[in-house]
């Protein structure tokens, strides 16, 4: 079996920086003189608490998080947040705005509707979520406790390029574009992100909560689902190894020049790929031009019968994970922070070559 | 820094088999020709689904689980189960028995009491949980939907050596003795275990649910907290790497002769340690003799002033994680499945030597 690392466009769990994986390998079977691996030491041990503290410090530096923000590392996945957010913050008898721009945002709305009466402020469903509904058409409620949205829609390849306007605090599912661009923190009450796209392996969800927002939560909550429990102290065993990997990814991100640095590279990567799509006769982007995601590039072939062949041949060339989600079809290249520029260059080269071979290239049509 | 692996008696996260850690190391940065590590591949990929299927197969073989049992790998830790069990199974207006034999069992009762009216069938609190209350004194309810208990009490070092008698199905928090001894499955409706004691790293909780018990759950549940969601399909991204490690630990366990094999070794390890305690003038066990745990051996020194020195010197000898929990004091040696016999032998040697040096040995008093 080949031990070569290939170009990985998986939508999540997704590519991690190679140097992070190699550093983790070096720290097996013994972590820094502790006599055991990180997977085997107490979450109350100095070695582990230093890892978690470093992860928090790095996040604070990367995002400019002030003292008003709590940083939580929770298990259960971002899907648990779909329930936990309204459980804590949807007021009994009150409401909150939900903007539904894709599958995950819709799931968040459905969970809130199990607990109370969220307001469906906007939905992109009739366009099969190919665009972000214009904010001018949203139906926001004046008494909304918060506005929930999903900043990047992995499946459909759309992304908010402007922060939503609201009189209430924003709550954002940032799972698939967390730390890929700056955030205007003052507008938010809570931001959550499953790690397995941009910041680490599956198994931990980072939750940022502003203190004043946290203090207005509902009472009588189950202990594990009360954000206050985890903001106050390390209540139970965290997903130790996942947090350890996140700490390393955050260190790598700082070495890339932080969020400004990675945003520059992300813009370059996405630009290369969308330019290749727009310049061709064979490929067409799925998402509306203005709402195109810098993280997940969705595209179809003008001749859909060729799509399975595209994926098979790409795979043979070492370009992995390009098959689109079944609800969109076609292809999806997930090019999160850790996806290197070289991977996108290799994909673009393959796309050009495939187009020529299939007789659909612009010049082949001359 | 030393790269030596030391003897690790941490209560959890705890020691894993060295060969498992080394196998995981070999599969970084590329897992079996997939072009990426296990942390970076889709949870829907053939490579990952094969890992999870193998983990289930191994569990079915080890426990003799028939088709009636669902096997779930959930995030969130066993503490989430304290809420999730009564949310699914405590009937509105009905009750369930709770046997409180330690800190974790008490937490489970407290969470159930947030949702309904569980019945406190027994509590060992007045003995500071040094013994399991005799079942003849339990106050069980005839209309109990289930009886919840914790089979091994990590902090206090007690363990159930007989399965509780009940007319209703048992629900067991088996986190700290899972797969260390056989289980009489027919008596149970649900068994759960956080991985980080006996079966893997922190970040995944194994839940076994019998089909007929599952079918009697409450309705209108939050999707992520409904056991039915996860029994029906892979609903969201599981903690991929933790499941991968669990699969390897289960393979290691099969190679030890399965549960019968490991139980023999566990009995030998615990016997060595308790014999050393009972034969000495310096050490005394904390737990009541009949209820002593084979997983967590709690002991004090007859001269408590020596206890800090014991821990420091043990640590210097490469015997890690022996400090007892603050609510008991003294020492605790956690000797789960993966703790090798050699580690216990080294601890017993150290204990004898420490006793001689401190002038408390039986023969030193002659």
For A12-22, the pLDDT digits (tens) are: 999 999 999 99
* Residues facing A296 on adjacent strands: A334
Q: How far is CA A339 from CA A154, A241, A321, A346, in A?
A: 15, 22, 12, 12
What's the helix, strand, coil split of chain B in %, to 5?
40, 15, 40
Give the minimum alpha-carbon distance from B346 to chain A in angstroms, rounded to a whole number. 15
The tens digit of pLDDT for each residue in A76-130 reads: 899 999 999 999 999 999 999 999 999 999 999 999 999 999 999 999 999 999 9
- As a whole number, mean pLDDT of residues A164-192 equals 98
Residue in chain B lying closest to A114 (CA): B222
- As a whole number, mean pLDDT of residues B243-247 equals 98
Q: For residue A194, list chain B residues with Cβ-Cβ distance below 8 A.
A: 237
Cβ(A87)–Cβ(A225) below 8 Å: yes
Give the minimum alpha-carbon distance from B33 to chain A in angstroms, rounded to a whole number. 5
Per-residue pLDDT at B264 = 98
CB contact under 8 A, A30 and B4: yes
DSSP B142: T
- Mutation choice for A interface testing from B17, B39, B193 by most A CBs within 10 A: B39
Q: For residue B4, list chain A residues with Cβ-Cβ distance below 8 A.
A: 30, 35
- Mutation choice for A interface testing from B42, B113, B198, B311 by most A CBs within 10 A: B42
CB contact under 8 A, A3 and B30: yes
* Euclidean distance between CA atoms B208 and B171, whole angstroms: 10
Whether the predicted pLDDT of A362 surpasses 70: no
* Residues facing A144 on adjacent strands: A95
Kindly give, in sequence order, each residue whose CB lies less than 8 Å from that of residue B340, ignoring residues fewer than 6 positions away: none
Residue among B12, B36, B240 whose CB faces A6 most closely: B36
Using the Cα atoms of residue B237, residue B82, residue B84 and residue A218 in order, give the sign of their dihedral. negative
- As a whole number, mean pLDDT of residues A290-300 equals 98
The tens digit of pLDDT for each residue in A21-45 reads: 999 999 999 999 999 999 999 999 9
Kindly provide the ipTM of the predicted complex, given to two decimals.
0.96
Residue in chain A lying closest to B243 (CA): A203
| Six token digits for residue A288 | 């509306």
- Catalytic site residue A173? yes
Whether the predicted pLDDT of B26 surpasses 90: yes
Q: For residue B201, list chain A residues with Cβ-Cβ distance below 8 A.
A: 39-40, 240-241
The tens digit of pLDDT for each residue in A120-140 reads: 999 999 999 999 999 999 999
* Euclidean distance between CA atoms A127 and B288, whole angstroms: 67
Torsion angle in degrees (nearest 10) through CA of A350, A353, A355, A357: -130
Torsion angle in degrees (nearest 10) through CA of A223, A228, A231, A233: -50
Per-residue pLDDT at B365 = 46
CB contact under 8 A, A36 and B6: yes
Cβ(A32)–Cβ(A47) below 8 Å: yes
pLDDT band at B2 (very low <50, low <70, confident <90, very high): confident
Q: For residue B245, list chain A residues with Cβ-Cβ distance below 8 A.
A: 39
Per-residue pLDDT at A242 = 97
Q: For residue A20, list chain B residues with Cβ-Cβ distance below 8 A.
A: none
Beta strand residue intervals within chain B, DSSP E? 7-8, 69-74, 95-100, 119-123, 144-150, 152-153, 158-159, 170-173, 188-194, 205-210, 283-285, 296-301, 319-320, 331-334
Per-residue pLDDT at A364 = 45
Residue among A225, A239, A320 whose CB faces B35 most closely: A320
Any idea which residues of B carry the catalytic annotation? 104, 173, 197
pLDDT band at A358 (very low <50, low <70, confident <90, very high): confident
DSSP annotation string for B78-130? HHHHHHHHHHHHS-TT-EEEEEE-SHHHHHHHHHHHHHS--EEEEE-GGGTT-
Q: Which of A97, A177, A197, A248 is catalytic?
A: A197
Per-residue pLDDT at B362 = 53
CB contact under 8 A, A82 and B245: no
Residue among A21, A34, A76 whose CB faces B224 most closely: A76
Per-residue pLDDT at A363 = 52
CB contact under 8 A, A40 and B10: yes
* Euclidean distance between CA atoms A43 and A239, whole angstroms: 9
- As a whole number, mean pLDDT of residues A327-355 equals 97
- Mutation choice for B interface testing from A75, A320, A324 by most B CBs within 10 A: A75
Whether the predicted pLDDT of A365 surpasses 80: no
What is the rounded average pLDDT for all residues in chain B?
A: 96
Give the minimum alpha-carbon distance from B72 to chain A in angstroms, rounded to a whole number. 13
At residue A78, the 3 state secondary structure works out as: helix
Give the minimum alpha-carbon distance from A365 to chain B in angstroms, rounded to a whole number. 36
CB contact under 8 A, A224 and B4: no
- Residue-level length of chain B: 366
* Euclidean distance between CA atoms B39 and B52, whole angstroms: 14
Give the minimum alpha-carbon distance from A281 to chain B in angstroms, rounded to a whole number. 30
Per-residue pLDDT at B202 = 97
Q: For residue A22, list chain B residues with Cβ-Cβ distance below 8 A.
A: 28-29
- Catalytic site residue A104? yes
The CB density around residue B19, as the number of other CB atoms within 10 Å, is 14
Residue in chain A lying closest to B338 (CA): A40
| Six token digits for residue B54 | 């193998």
- Give the A:B interface size as CB pairs under 8 Å: 232
* Euclidean distance between CA atoms A110 and A104, whole angstroms: 10
Percentage of residues in chain A having pLDDT higher than 90: 96
* Euclidean distance between CA atoms A57 and A44, whole angstroms: 18
Residue in chain A lying closest to B242 (CA): A203
Using alpha carbons only, give the angle B274, B277, B283 rounded to the nearest 5 degrees.
145
Cβ(A163)–Cβ(A147) below 8 Å: no
Per-residue pLDDT at B364 = 45
- As a whole number, mean pLDDT of residues B356-360 equals 84
């Amino acid at each position: 079996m080949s031990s070569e690392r290939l170009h990985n466009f998986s939508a999540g769990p997704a590519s991690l920086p190679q140097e992070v994986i190699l550093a983790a390998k070096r720290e097996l079977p013994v972590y820094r003189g502790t006599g055991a691996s990180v997977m085997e030491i107490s979450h109350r041990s100095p070695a582990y608490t230093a890892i978690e503290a470093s992860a928090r410090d790095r996040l604070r530096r990367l995002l400019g998080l002030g003292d008003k923000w709590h940083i939580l590392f929770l298990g259960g996945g971002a899907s648990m947040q779909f329930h936990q957010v309204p459980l804590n913050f949807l007021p009994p008898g009150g409401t909150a705005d939900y903007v539904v721009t894709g599958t995950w945002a819709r799931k968040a709305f459905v969970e809130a509707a199990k607990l109370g009466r969220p307001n469906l402020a906007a939905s992109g469903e009739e366009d099969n979520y190919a665009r972000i509904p214009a904010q001018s058409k949203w139906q926001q409620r004046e008494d909304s406790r918060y506005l929930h949205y999903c900043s990047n829609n992995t499946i459909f390849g759309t992304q908010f390029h402007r922060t939503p306007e609201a009189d209430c605090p924003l709550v954002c599912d940032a799972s698939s574009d967390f730390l890929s661009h700056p955030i205007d923190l003052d507008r938010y009450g809570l931001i959550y992100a499953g790690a397995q796209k941009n910041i680490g392996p599956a198994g931990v969800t980072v939750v940022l909560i502003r203190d004043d927002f946290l203090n207005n939560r509902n009472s009588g909550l189950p202990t594990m689902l009360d954000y206050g429990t985890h903001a106050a102290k390390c209540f139970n065993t965290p997903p130790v190894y996942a947090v350890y990997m996140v700490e390393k990814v955050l260190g790598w991100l700082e070495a890339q020049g932080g969020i400004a640095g990675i945003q520059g590279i992300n813009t370059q990567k996405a630009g290369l790929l969308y330019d290749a799509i727009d310049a061709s006769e064979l490929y067409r982007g799925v998402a509306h031009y203005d709402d195109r995601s810098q993280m997940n590039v969705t595209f179809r072939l003008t001749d859909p019968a060729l799509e399975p062949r595209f994926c098979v041949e790409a795979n043979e060339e070492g370009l992995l994970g390009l098959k689109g989600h079944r609800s969109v079809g076609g292809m999806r290249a997930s090019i999160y922070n850790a996806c290197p520029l070289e991977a996108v260059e290799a994909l673009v080269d393959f796309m050009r070559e495939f187009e020529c071979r299939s007789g659909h290239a612009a010049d082949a049509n001359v």
